[in-house]
Each structure stands twice: as structure tokens, then as C-alpha cells.
């Protein structure tokens, strides 16, 4: 079903210019609702993966974040990742949320796709967080699904204060 939806969006908004891409539901993707991955070309690092996606491209959708969401949320997430694929494959640029992305998003949103740069799933992301750190200076809290913040090497992005893990 996702592949059919991708094919329809490709024809309508990208004139069929996007090369085929695998789309998968990822049970491990919890920090964002979707991700475009490319394992080929000079703009990417090699990962040593024994099983790169066919054609070197893959769109991952977060199973934990999207499984209880509406079809509209899934559609807008897929369309968002397709814009990144378009930037990479057609424009030959590193995917980002700059002017090219925003112009394409606005054009697609005129038809009601509801694409955004940031998803509205912050509560769902927070619910999956297992680890948290608080800035000792300003009190800002950083939540993560994995223990990726090392207080000896990282500091608060807002005030440069020291971080302490919450237990």
C-alpha cells in the first residue's frame, strides 16, 4: 500500500522523476516519524552494511510513532521524505529543510497534503524517552531514547551549562 501511494505521489508531484525506493516500517525509529536514507553517491558515507537497500535508497517510517496516527499523518510523513528524496536524486543536493524543500512543500500543500517540517508527535516521542538530562544552570531537560548524551563531553545548547543525568 505504501509503494502504491509513493508511486501516485511520484507521478503527481515529481512527474515520475524519482527512482524506485524501498519503504519500510521501522520499529526502532523513535526520534522522528520518517527518514530518507541513501547509501550511494559522493554525498554519503559508507556504512559497511551487508544489505544496502536496492538502488541504495530507502524511506523508513516510524512504526512506534505512526501506528496509531491517521492515514493523513502517514501520507504527509511519506510526502515529506519524498521531498528529501527529490532533493537528493533530482536536485543532486544534500537533503535539508531549506528553500527548495519549503517551495516543494508549499506546492504540495496547496492540494491539502499537510506536510510540515516538524511533526506534531512530540508527546509520542517523549513517551518513548528512557533517559533524560537536566542543565544545572538553566534547567532545560534533554530527553533521549538512548544514552547518547555524555555530560563530560556535552553541554546545554541554550546556556552552555553542565548537564546531569536524571534517574
pLDDT of 118-159, one tens digit each? 766 666 666 677 889 999 999 999 988 788 899 999 999 999
Question: Where does the pLDDT of residue 57 fall: very low under 50, low under 70, confident under 90, or very high at 90 and above?
Answer: confident
Give the C-alpha separation, 90 to 100, whole Å.
Answer: 11
Summarize the confidence of residues 14-40 as an average pLDDT: 90
Cβ-based burial of 137 (10 A; exposed 0-12, middle 13-18, buried ≥19): middle
Residue 148, SS3 per DSSP = coil
Report pLDDT for 31: 75
Which residues are annotated as catalytic? 81
- Does 3.30.2010.10 match the CATH number of domain 2-120? yes
Better-scored residue on pLDDT, 164 or 130: 164
Mean pLDDT throughout 4-13?
98
Summarised one tens digit per residue, pLDDT across range 91-121 is 999 999 999 999 999 999 999 999 999 766 6
Domain ranges of the chain: 2-120, 129-166
Are 115 and 83 in contact, with CB atoms under 8 Å apart?
yes
What pLDDT does 41 receive?
Answer: 54
Greatest alpha-carbon pair distance for the chain in Å reads 52
Query: Does the reported pTM lie above 0.85?
Result: no
Q: What is the pLDDT of residue 112?
A: 94
pLDDT of residue 49 exceeding 50, the answer is: no
Amino acid at each position: 500500500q505504501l509503494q502504491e501511494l509513493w508511486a501516485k505521489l511520484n507521478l503527481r508531484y515529481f512527474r515520475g522523476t524519482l527512482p524506485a525506493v524501498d519503504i519500510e516500517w521501522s520499529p526502532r525509529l523513535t526520534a522522528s516519524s520518517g527518514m530518507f536514507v541513501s547509501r550511494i553517491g559522493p554525498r554519503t558515507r559508507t556504512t559497511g552494511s551487508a544489505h544496502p537497500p536496492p538502488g541504495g535508497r530507502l524511506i523508513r517510517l516510524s512504526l512506534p510513532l505512526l501506528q496509531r496516527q491517521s492515514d493523513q499523518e502517514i501520507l504527509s510523513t511519506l510526502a515529506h521524505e519524498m521531498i528529501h528524496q527529490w532533493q537528493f536524486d533530482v536536485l543532486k543536493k544534500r537533503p535539508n529543510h531549506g528553500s527548495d524543500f519549503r517551495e516543494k512543500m508549499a506546492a504540495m500543500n496547496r492540494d491539502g497534503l499537510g506536510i510540515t517540517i516538524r511533526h506534531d508527535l512530540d508527546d509520542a516521542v517523549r513517551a518513548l524517552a528512557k533517559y533524560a538530562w537536566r542543565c544545572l544552570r538553566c534547567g532545560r531537560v534533554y530527553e533521549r531514547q538512548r544514552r547518547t548524551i555524555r555530560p563530560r563531553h556535552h553541554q546545554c545548547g541554550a546556556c552552555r551549562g553542565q548537564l546531569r543525568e536524571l534517574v
